């Protein structure tokens, strides 16, 4: 796991090469909507991409992490099916629905049933490297989302430059990012983490939560501002010093949201001294999000190390899949 986290910048560079060489069919747009179907480490790339391009996308982009797709999916839809293993049963079920409804389907996978189906049915597909935990391959699945969105006319921005610059910056500042992650892990050790960010970058908070779940074997939760100001903020009356707050912040967060964060910090401080702000770094929105993703991954690793747990082990998920496989 250590090596896979360290190699995230290299993964981004390789993912660019894979995307540039991908053979996708004629776009045949325009499309009225985009739906990404995927779960866990395979699905989070869709959430991050959807938020990153929200300001320029020519149609709505929605992520569905379930067995089904919304009723509006049809011949004017672009469905991106993402399963790292290619065998995620929920995603395969949703993918079949998309095909039955006549949607344009693009697959992002390393193999399995998804790749076999894509080849047999003549579906557009991009193959990414296999053999690793899905959560460690985010650089590949996320980057391909951008290639697909651009190819099919949903976005026009030069995301490749952002990804490339980010890879270079993350690699050159690796030691400092590791040190920051180790420091944050020390602050979270023995505490229940609560993660906040502005709603426009909530997907990065979700990624961090998932990494604490799987790598650090930690229960935690996240929420987004301003929504949490209309409900969860009241719940802080039940907060205490066992909670550690992590606030992901960006210099381009809405000015009113930044005001809310400052006021929220005053509320949190009434119940816990453990309130930590983490500011993103980078020249543009995507670079800043990739920075926080990498930092969060390192934090989850160092927290696992501090707890003495195996960051790679996910036995309970494998048990669940095994029991489900017994019932067909």
The average pLDDT across 179-206 equals: 98
All structural domains of the chain, each given as residue ranges with its CATH number in brackets, are 2-163 (3.40.50.10490), 175-307 (3.40.50.10490)
Is residue 321 annotated as part of the catalytic site, yes or no? yes
Instruction: Please tell me the predicted confidence (pLDDT) of residue 29.
Output: 85
Tell me the mean pLDDT in the region 39-46.
93
pLDDT of 328 strictly over 80: no
With 0-12 / 13-18 / 19 or more C-beta atoms within 10 angstroms meaning exposed / middle / buried, residue 258 is middle
Mean pLDDT of 125-140: 96
Average pLDDT over residues 208-232: 98
What is the average pLDDT across 165-182? 98
The predicted model gives 31-56 an average pLDDT of 95
User: Which residue of the set 230, 270, 323, 328 is catalytic?
Assistant: 230
Q: Is 156 among the residues known to form the active site? A: no
**pLDDT per position as a tens digit, 211-220:** 999 999 999 9
Torsion sign, CA atoms 303, 304, 305, 308: positive
Please list, in sequence order, all residues whose beta carbon lies within 8 angstroms of the beta carbon of residue 255, skipping any fewer than 6 positions away. Answer: none
Confidence band for 160, pLDDT divided at 50, 70 and 90 = very high
Catalytic residue among 75, 121, 241, 321: 321
Residue pair 119/25 in contact by the 8 Å Cβ criterion:
no
pLDDT at 118 (0 to 100): 98
When pLDDT is cut at 50, 70 and 90, the band that residue 133 belongs to is: very high
Terminal Cα distance for the chain, rounded: 33
Q: Which is the catalytic residue, given 202, 214, 218, 287?
A: 214
pLDDT digits (tens, 9 = 90+) for 103-132: 999 999 999 999 999 999 999 999 999 999
Taking all residues of the chain, what is their mean pLDDT, rounded to a whole number?
96
Long-range contacts of 23-30 (CB under 8 A, 24+ apart): 24/106, 24/124, 24/126, 24/147, 24/148, 24/151, 24/152, 25/124, 27/151, 27/152, 27/153, 28/104, 29/78, 29/152, 29/153, 30/58, 30/59, 30/153
Q: Is 305 a catalytic residue?
A: no
| pLDDT at position 173 over 90 | yes
User: At which residue do the structure tokens 């391009």 appear?
Assistant: 53
């Amino acid at each position: 796991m250590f090596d896979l986290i360290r190699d995230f910048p290299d993964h981004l560079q390789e993912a660019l090469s894979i995307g540039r060489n991908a053979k996708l069919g004629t776009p045949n747009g325009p499309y009225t909507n985009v739906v990404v179907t995927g779960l866990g480490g395979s699905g989070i790339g869709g959430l991050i991409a959807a938020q990153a391009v929200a300001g320029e996308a020519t149609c709505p982009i929605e992520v569905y992490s379930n067995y089904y797709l919304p009723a509006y999916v049809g011949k004017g839809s672009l469905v991106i099916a993402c399963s790292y293993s290619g065998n995620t049963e929920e995603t395969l079920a949703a993918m079949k629905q998309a095909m039955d409804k006549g949607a344009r389907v693009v697959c992002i996978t390393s193999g399995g049933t998804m790749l076999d189906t894509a080849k047999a049915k003549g579906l557009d597909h991009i193959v990414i490297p296999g053999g690793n935990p899905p959560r460690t391959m985010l650089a590949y699945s996320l980057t391909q989302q951008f290639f697909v969105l651009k190819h099919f006319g949903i976005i026009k921005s030069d995301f490749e430059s952002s990804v490339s610059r980010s890879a270079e910056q993350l690699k050159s500042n690796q030691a400092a990012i590791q040190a920051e992650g180790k420091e944050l892990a020390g602050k979270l050790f023995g505490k229940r983490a609560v993660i906040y960010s502005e709603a426009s970058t909530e997907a990065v908070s979700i990624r961090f939560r998932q990494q604490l779940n799987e790598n650090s074997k930690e229960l935690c939760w996240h929420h987004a501002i301003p929504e949490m100001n209309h409900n969860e903020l009241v719940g802080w009356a039940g907060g205490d010093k066992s909670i550690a707050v992590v606030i992901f912040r960006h210099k381009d967060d809405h000015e009113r949201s930044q005001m809310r964060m400052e006021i929220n910090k005053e509320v949190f401080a009434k119940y816990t001294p453990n309130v930590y702000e983490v500011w993103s770094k980078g020249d543009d929105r995507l670079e800043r999000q990739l920075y926080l993703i990498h930092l969060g991954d390192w934090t989850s690793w160092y927290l696992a190390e501090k707890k003495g747990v195996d960051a790679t082990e996910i036995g309970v998920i494998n048990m669940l899949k095994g029991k489900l496989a017994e019932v067909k």
